[in-house]
Structure 1
Amino acid sequence: MKRKPSGWAGRTCLAVSLALSPLLLSSVTTLAAPAGGEPPVSAIDSYLVQAMDSTALPGMSVVVTHQGEVVYAGGYGHDSAGEPVTAHTPMRVASVSKSFTAMAVMTLVDDGRISLDEPVARQLPGFRMADSRSGRITVRQLLNQTSGLSDATIDIREAESASSLAGYVASLDTGTLAAEPGTRWAYCNANYEVAARLVEVASGARFGDYLRQRVFGPLGMSDSTVGDRVVRPARGFNSLFGVWVARPELRDVPYGSGAGGVVTTATDVGKWLISQTGNGPQLVTPRSLNTMHASSQVRDYGMGWGRETMDGTSLLVHSGNLFTYTAVEAIVPGTGYGFAVMTNSASLYDDAYEILAGLVAISQGRTPTVPGGWRQRIELTLGLVAFVAAMLGGLGVVRSRRWANRRTGSPAWRIGLRLAPGLLPLPLFAGCPTLISFLMNGRTVTWEQLTYFAAPLTFAVAVAAAAGTVTTVLRLLGLRSIASTR
């Protein structure tokens, strides 16, 4: 499944937008927080109402848990059918799915049917690559994202066109590794697709069925599934210069994706967060739960959870970004709090993470910062870039003949220097997928994907490239016309 990177890599996608946005200035408002203890529902609701207003998201569902209780679960806004979003609205949670996949693997580890530190190749028939080092990849390294698998060294497009997890794994046979297993961290969805296939082989059940039997079912997550066949969310939204456009997700995955296929609700995620803090029904032993949450020796990333520090508080966090949905989950091991924010939209800026940060602040009796509309500012800046480029392009077209007259007789090298600035946006536009892939730490990005979450950026660069190219061509034609008449 082609999807935006999540977590740290996902937020890197802002870099190119911010580079074009010198007008971006932070603007926030604050909300008084409760003075200790569990935050009242009214404080959370008031904050979320303000957050919805400041971010202008189309829809959002949220859950907050504390130890063994759900403190708050609710929804805001609407879906693409105009229905109100509630705590029971199905949401795609993208790469947040990885924590569920890791849990499925750990249940089989506890059952003795998977070994964390044995090579995957010994436990998963059909897993082979054109790199002898792949035979040393362990299950632990898959879940820690330290296997050496990378979008840059495997044919991710072919893999994600597979009709089954078995086909996905088979497609990796021509790939190589970017590093020796266990030596480098690289976020790659293939790690969790291989892990999901391992679950199928070790359990004898389809991945989605196993999750329902051993993860969703025991926790009472009755509205959760893998893929869209059982529970189909409404279309999500993309933001195009401040207008939310309802669009189908880029591609429905025919196989039960372990990297990003979970569809769930705020109510169900609340049960999951309670279990992840060691309360309520437990799916694995305490030792296995700690193993999932522990960072590897290479990076502060465990198994479907990353460790971050937010205002001095250590959290376990994982974000998820598809092309029309965004999600983030977090737990605070020190206090037993859990949080999840899910939105039915995707854009150049991830508001869900900032909203979650405000919920963490409220839980600690601090004053939360209400998100200040960075998405709107980014898109306004890109809109201005497109407008100015179009105006300059129009002016260049009108004056192209005059420009040619003034340069007639000039040396070719000087004319070339004069024309070069107008052509600069063209290679930038042509190289957009490569540039964005680089900024996203090597994640594969396609043109089709750039018409979704990055539509305002793609449009702005396209307008600049078109304006510069048309102006340059007309100037050259003017020079040629003048030369031919002499």
Structure 2
Amino acid sequence: MLVLVFVAGVVSGTAPAVAAAGAQDWSEVDAFVRGRLDATGTPGAALAVIEDGRVVHQRGFGEDGRGRAVTPDTPFLWGSLSKPVTGLAVMQQVEAGRVELDAPVRRYLPWFRLSDPEVSDRITVRHLLTHTSGIPASASGEIGDRYDNAPGALADAARDLARTEPADRPGGSYAYSSAGYAVLGALVEKVAGRPFGTYLHQQILDPLGMEHAVATERDFARERVAPGHRSVFGTPVRFDAPYDTSGVPYGHVGGSVKDLARFVRAELGGGALDGRRVLSAKGVAETQRGHVDSSADRYGLGWSVGTLEGTGERMVWHDGALPGHQAMVVMLPDSDRAVIVLQNAYHQLRAKEFADAAIGTAQLLSGAVPRTTPVDGFAVALPWVAAALGAVLLLSVAAPVLRRLPWRRAATRSRSRRRIVVTTLASAGASLAVAAFLWWLPSALGGTLPMALLWLPDVGWGLVTAIALALLLAVERTVLGVLDLRRGKRSAGDV
């Protein structure tokens, strides 16, 4: 039929028009992505669609953190999409015979340890790759996001795990851990004898033609990576963070959507692109195979593995985030298709909404109804709740001004000493309990207060303010109680 159409076009002189009509219309995809960006308040993003081993559509949306239009050449940081890159680097060492997946990590890094030496001795390379090492998820907050670019920063971060208490035996359970990937980066550094970022350039990024990829502090400066955006009371606010050499293996690889598309094409192509091979097809298949059950489907050696909702098609994917950046790759190997979305904003409590841009586009291209997650009312309300709590505590601290009024002084004189003591202890104790609860709350949610300040600044500063006011209130109530006792004693003496 295509031949007949083409012949008819030649005869009628309309062949070019027929060819143009055959081009795919991407307006529906672009409109969907634009809608998801509007829903999350994301200022800028880049999209790429890969089919049959080539990029068939790519474009930019909105502006970067410096007010420039986003294009397919705009650099972003990829967050945890660094993990598949690290997984590939480790597998290169496996195929070169320098590393064994089931060998103890201490064979390559004798200094590696957790607080339990016995557990440390049993952790293998595979355990780290599949997040089953026993290193708790909270360890990522303890050693991550330190923005350390000094020589040896990556190894120093991994060494700091010596203070970490293991959460389970190695191989016992899945616990997503960026800290484990920091150890893998240090392992590659040691085995390869060069800094991790340098290794990535020489063995993966440069061979795949990822010309503007970011894996070192120098790359970050050269590519002039624009600030991302954090949410402050629902408004995207620029966050101009420095680079973090200590976090490259788990979160600080970056580049344009064009760069990431070349990496994904190599993944879909069995480890090769444009005649350059970075890993065997068997090795790539091993990274994309689900090895363990995870919190989201199954996890391989750097990739999550599951099915695309609405079609049931096998899906190999990973998302990533840093304060101010979000990225996601969705690969559908059976149909040789992939979707990439990079965004210059992020909200930790609305992660699923940000992921909709890539997941929904993949569904749309596969003929399914695209996912659109409703706005999380809790995430929107939480900063305001923290601010309201701070306001209430501030009013409580200011309330003793009323004691200057005559009727308040009279009320104080009329109270018994026992009542003053009980009231003071109850008030101060309640204030200390509030401060302790607010300090504990981030850890109960799997983080720390410093992490809240970094990832959710409005909530974090609200908590810090409320904790400080609660402590101040406890001190104030104690002091006022002592003054009331003295005043009451003087009044009794006068009588």
Alignment TM-score, normalising by the size of structure 2: 0.77
Q: What is aligned with 2:234?
A: 242
Determine if the alignment matches structure 1 residue 436 to structure 2 residue 442.
yes
Deviations, residues 58-97 of structure 1 (Å, cap 9, x unaligned): 2222222223122322222222221112221111112110
Tell me, in whole angstroms, the C-alpha distance in 1 between the residues paired with 2:306 and 2:366: 16
Deviation at 1:471, TM superposition (A): 5.8
| Structure with more helix by fraction | 2
Tell me, in whole angstroms, the C-alpha distance in 2 between the residues paired with 1:126 and 1:346: 36
Deviations, residues 369-426 of structure 1 (Å, cap 9, x unaligned): 4454448x73345325524652575377447547893893474546655676555532
Deviations, residues 329-367 of structure 1 (Å, cap 9, x unaligned): 221233332222222223232242122222122112233
**Structure 1, unpaired ranges of 5+:** 1-36
Secondary structure of 2:226's counterpart equals: coil
Q: What is aligned with 1:269?
A: 260
1:36-75 equivalences in 2 (<5 Å): 40-75=25-60
Residues 38 and 213 of structure 1: is their aligned pair in 2 closer, same or farther, counting only changes over 3 Å? farther
Deviations, residues 269-325 of structure 1 (Å, cap 9, x unaligned): 112222222366253222211211122245421111123445253422222222222
Kindly provide the amino acid, as one letter, of the partner of residue 263 in structure 1.
G
Tell me, in whole angstroms, the C-alpha distance in 2 between the residues paired with 1:142 and 1:51: 34
1:187-198 equivalences in 2 (<5 Å): 187-198=176-187
Secondary structure of 1:367's counterpart equals: coil
Determine if the alignment matches structure 1 residue 315 to structure 2 residue 301.
no
Q: What is aligned with 2:125?
A: 139
Contact residue 227 and residue 256 of structure 1 kept, 8 A: no
User: Once structures 1 and 2 are overlaid, which stretch shifts more, 330-339 or 118-127?
Assistant: 118-127
Deviation at 1:146, TM superposition (A): 1.7
Structure with greater Cα Rg = 2
Residues 224 and 158 of structure 1: is their aligned pair in 2 closer, same or farther, counting only changes over 3 Å? closer
User: Once structures 1 and 2 are overlaid, which stretch shifts more, 416-425 or 190-199?
Assistant: 416-425
Higher relative contact order (CA 8 A, sep 6+): 1
**Structure 2, unpaired ranges of 5+:** 1-21
Residues 228 and 346 of structure 1: is their aligned pair in 2 closer, same or farther, counting only changes over 3 Å? farther
Deviation at 1:479, TM superposition (A): 5.3
Q: For 2:282, which of 284, 287, 306 is the aligned residue?
A: 287
Q: For 1:207, which of 170, 173, 196 is the aligned residue?
A: 196
Tell me, in whole angstroms, the C-alpha distance in 2 between the residues paired with 1:408 and 1:201: 72
Q: RMSD between aligned alpha carbons? A: 3.5
User: Once structures 1 and 2 are overlaid, which stretch shifts more, 209-218 or 387-396?
Assistant: 387-396
Contact residue 90 and residue 231 of structure 1 kept, 8 A: no
Kindly provide the amino acid, as one letter, of the partner of residue 307 in structure 1.
V
Equivalent pairs, count: 441
1:206-225 equivalences in 2 (<5 Å): 206-225=195-214
Alignment TM-score, normalising by the size of structure 1: 0.78
Tell me, in whole angstroms, the C-alpha distance in 2 between the residues paired with 1:469 and 1:278: 59
Residues 115 and 225 of structure 1: is their aligned pair in 2 closer, same or farther, counting only changes over 3 Å? same
1:309-458 equivalences in 2 (<5 Å): 309-312=307-310, 313=312, 314-348=314-348, 349-350=350-351, 351-370=353-372, 372-374=374-376, 378-383=379-384, 386-387=387-388, 390=391, 393-394=394-395, 397-398=398-399, 401=403, 405=411, 408-409=415-416, 411=419, 412-413=421-422, 416-417=425-426, 424-431=433-440, 435-440=441-446, 445-447=448-450, 449-458=451-460
Deviation at 1:144, TM superposition (A): 1.2
User: Once structures 1 and 2 are overlaid, which stretch shifts more, 178-187 or 386-395?
Assistant: 386-395
Tell me, in whole angstroms, the C-alpha distance in 2 between the residues paired with 1:103 and 1:53: 35
Contact residue 47 and residue 370 of structure 1 kept, 8 A: no
1:112-131 equivalences in 2 (<5 Å): 112-124=97-109, 126-127=111-112, 131=117
Tell me, in whole angstroms, the C-alpha distance in 2 between the residues paired with 1:244 and 1:258: 27
Deviation at 1:140, TM superposition (A): 1.7
Contact residue 425 and residue 461 of structure 1 kept, 8 A: no
Tell me, in whole angstroms, the C-alpha distance in 2 between the residues paired with 1:206 and 1:352: 33
Secondary structure of 1:450's counterpart equals: helix
Kindly provide the amino acid, as one letter, of the partner of residue 295 in structure 1.
G
Secondary structure of 1:85's counterpart equals: coil
Secondary structure of 2:361's counterpart equals: helix
Q: What is aligned with 1:185?
A: 174
Residues 386 and 270 of structure 1: is their aligned pair in 2 closer, same or farther, counting only changes over 3 Å? same
Residues 38 and 93 of structure 1: is their aligned pair in 2 closer, same or farther, counting only changes over 3 Å? farther
Q: % of aligned pairs identical?
A: 26
Secondary structure of 1:334's counterpart equals: helix
Tell me, in whole angstroms, the C-alpha distance in 2 between the residues paired with 1:285 and 1:158: 32
Tell me, in whole angstroms, the C-alpha distance in 2 between the residues paired with 1:437 and 1:341: 31
